[in-house]
């Protein structure tokens, strides 16, 4: 790789497209002839207005969103959404369904419960170490929303298709797979994504909200900063937004549209990348995937080696060979290769070659 950069398989914050990083570097001291850095200009300036409006417009084009969908940027990461969602959408007597597919779903559930909200856990894969995505779920009639985690960053599972919820809007945590594939957005009332996995740096969460969701709780007494309507009515600028993070997202989305060519292309590339690694698990016994076959994630590939000792050696030798971030999440151990949009096919192929050589040497 150029510029002494390693192949970065970090789970988050994670690799960003190299052309984006280069563009940031080149324009950092003087943004578009303003004589100022993009981190020095006013968020009330025309320059920043153009940046945030471009980020919104590109999001709408990439995901094919019509005008009922609003795109906003909220601070506090995806974790802030765990509390804002039940706070904004569940009033007295309302209920919501939650599907528990791992650490992040569990946290989302906890934040609803802390607020004393009525929620039903309609399915969970916890009894099987969260290794699969539940199917044939019975959703609650009249629920305000169904919450799911579309990609489970830690366990390496992903919803291949989204469930039929009888018209109840899906609220989805897409932190680790937003913009990795085209979506049928009509099933969704709200989509949120902490930026640092697939679309930008940490410090901001993209939220896509369907207009009618704003009416679920018209008279709520939430603080302004915790209310979706505040962000929608002020184009995410009720207070100072995380300008640099939004700027970077706008460049990543431009890369997705103009260099990659949209989400269908991105999905093709992501499928190829996934196949390169998963076929190593399926063709031998040295590496074993931890996710059920039909629930495998194309973003986070989780696997084990024959022994924990070998896993340590693997992670160490990988690093010495220029492959970083392969350690599994501290809560589960093992290994994980996060192969988000910005991770090139070349990087994944290089990793697969390294893995084959490692297997030969150690088995
Ligand atoms: C990383 C992650 C989160 C937490 O994001 P923060 O921005 O750190 O709050 C939540 N959900 C999923 C699926 C994630 O991958």
For residue 355, the SS3 value is: helix
**336, 260 contact by CB (below 8 A):** no
> Ligand 1 pocket, 101 CB below 6 A?
no
Q: Over its length of 363 residues, how does the chain's per-residue pLDDT go in tens digits?
A: 557 899 999 999 999 999 999 999 999 999 999 999 999 999 999 999 999 999 999 999 999 999 999 999 999 999 999 999 999 999 999 999 999 999 999 999 999 999 999 999 999 999 999 999 999 999 999 999 999 999 999 999 999 999 999 999 999 999 999 999 999 999 999 999 999 999 999 999 999 999 999 988 877 789 999 999 999 999 999 999 999 999 999 999 999 999 999 999 999 999 999 999 999 999 989 999 999 999 999 999 999 999 999 999 999 999 999 999 999 998 888 999 999 999 999 999 999 999 999 999 998
Indicate if ligand 1 lies below 6 Å from the C-beta of 105: no
Residue numbers annotated as active site: 104, 173, 197
Region of 276 on the Ramachandran plot (φ > 0 left; ψ -120 to 50 alpha; else beta): alpha
Residues in the chain: 363
pLDDT tens readout for residues 301-315: 999 999 999 999 999
Q: Which of 316, 300, 323, 302 lies closest to 362 in space, CA to CA? A: 316
Q: From ligand 1's centre to the CA of 232, what distance in Å?
A: 22
What structural domains does the chain harbor?
Answer: 22-259 (3.40.640.10), 262-362 (3.90.1150.10)
Whether the CB of 75 sits within 6 Å of ligand 1 = no
Residue identified by tokens 């989400």 is 263
Ligand 1 centre to CA of 236 (Å) is 20
CB 255 within 8 A of CB 62: no
Residue 198's pLDDT is what?
98
Structure tokens at 80: 């802030």
- Rounded distance between C-alpha atoms, residue 34 and residue 127, angstroms: 57
- 176, 242, 336, best to mutate for ligand 1 pocket (most atoms within 8 Å of CB): 176
**Please, are residues 216 and 192 in contact by the beta-carbon 8 Å criterion?**
no
DSSP 167: T
Torsions phi, psi of 329, nearest 5?
-60, 145
At 96, give phi and psi (nearest 5°): -135, 155
Does the beta carbon of 175 lie inside 6 Å of ligand 1? Answer: yes
> Among the atoms of ligand 1, which is closest to the Cα of residue 151?
13
pLDDT reported for residue 2: 57
Question: Contact at 8 Å (CB) between 201 and 16?
Answer: yes
Indicate which residue's Cα is closest to atom 5 of ligand 1. 78
Task: Give the residue, by CA position, lying nearest to ligand 1 atom 12.
Answer: 175
Euclidean distance between the first and the last CA atom of the chain, given in angstroms as a whole number: 29
Confirm or reject: Cβ of 197 under 6 Å from ligand 1. Answer: yes
pLDDT, position 3: 76
Closest C-alpha residue for ligand 1 atom 14: 175
Pocket mutation for ligand 1, best pick of 77, 130, 179, 249 (most atoms within 8 Å of C-beta)? 77
Angstrom distance (rounded) from CA 219 to CA 223:
12
Query: Ligand 1 atom 10: the closest Cα is on which residue?
Result: 78
Position in ligand 1 atom list of the atom nearest CA 205: 7
Q: Are strands 69-74 and 205-210 parallel, antiparallel or unpaired?
A: antiparallel
Taking CB atoms within 8 Å and a gap of at least 24, the contacts of 49-55 are: 51/243, 51/246, 51/247, 51/250, 52/235, 52/236, 52/237, 52/241, 52/246, 52/250, 53/235, 54/250, 54/253, 54/254, 55/246, 55/249, 55/250, 55/253
């Amino acid at each position: 790789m150029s510029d002494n950069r390693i192949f970065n398989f970090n789970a988050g914050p994670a690799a960003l497209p190299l052309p984006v990083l280069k563009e940031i570097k080149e324009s950092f001291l003087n943004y578009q002839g303003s004589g100022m850095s993009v981190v020095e200009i006013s968020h009330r300036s025309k320059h920043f207005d153009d940046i945030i409006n471009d980020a919104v417009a590109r999001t709408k084009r990439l995901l094919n969103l019509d005008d009922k969908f609003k795109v906003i940027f909220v601070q506090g990461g995806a974790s802030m959404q765990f509390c804002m969602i039940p706070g904004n959408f569940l009033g007295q007597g309302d209920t919501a369904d939650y599907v528990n597919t791992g650490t992040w779903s569990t946290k989302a559930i906890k934040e609803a419960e802390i607020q004393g909200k009525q929620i039903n856990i309609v399915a969970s894969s916890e009894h099987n170490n969260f290794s699969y995505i539940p199917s044939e779920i019975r959703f609650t009639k009249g629920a305000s929303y169904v919450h799911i985690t579309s990609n489970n960053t830690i366990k390496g599972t992903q919803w291949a298709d989204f469930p039929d919820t009888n018209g109840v809007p899906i609220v989805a945590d897409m932190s680790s797979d937003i913009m990795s594939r085209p979506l049928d957005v009509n099933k969704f009332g709200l989509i949120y994504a902490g930026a640092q996995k697939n679309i930008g740096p940490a410090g901001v969460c993209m939220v896509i909200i369907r207009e009618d969701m704003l009416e679920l709780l018209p008279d709520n007494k939430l603080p302004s900063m915790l209310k979706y309507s505040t962000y929608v009515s002020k184009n995410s600028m009720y207070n100072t937004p995380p300008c640099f993070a939004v700027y970077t997202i706008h460049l990543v989305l431009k890369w997705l549209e103009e260099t990659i060519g949209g989400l269908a292309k991105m999905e093709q590339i992501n499928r190829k990348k996934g196949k390169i690694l998963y076929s190593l698990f399926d063709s031998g016994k040295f590496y074993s995937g931890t996710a059920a076959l039909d629930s495998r994630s194309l973003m986070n590939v989780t696997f084990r080696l024959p022994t924990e000792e070998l896993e340590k050696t693997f992670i160490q030798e990988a690093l010495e060979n220029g492959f970083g971030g392969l350690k599994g999440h501290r809560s589960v151990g093992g290994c994980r290769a996060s192969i988000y949009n910005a991770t090139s096919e070349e990087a994944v192929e290089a990793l697969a070659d390294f893995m084959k050589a490692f297997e030969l040497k150690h088995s």
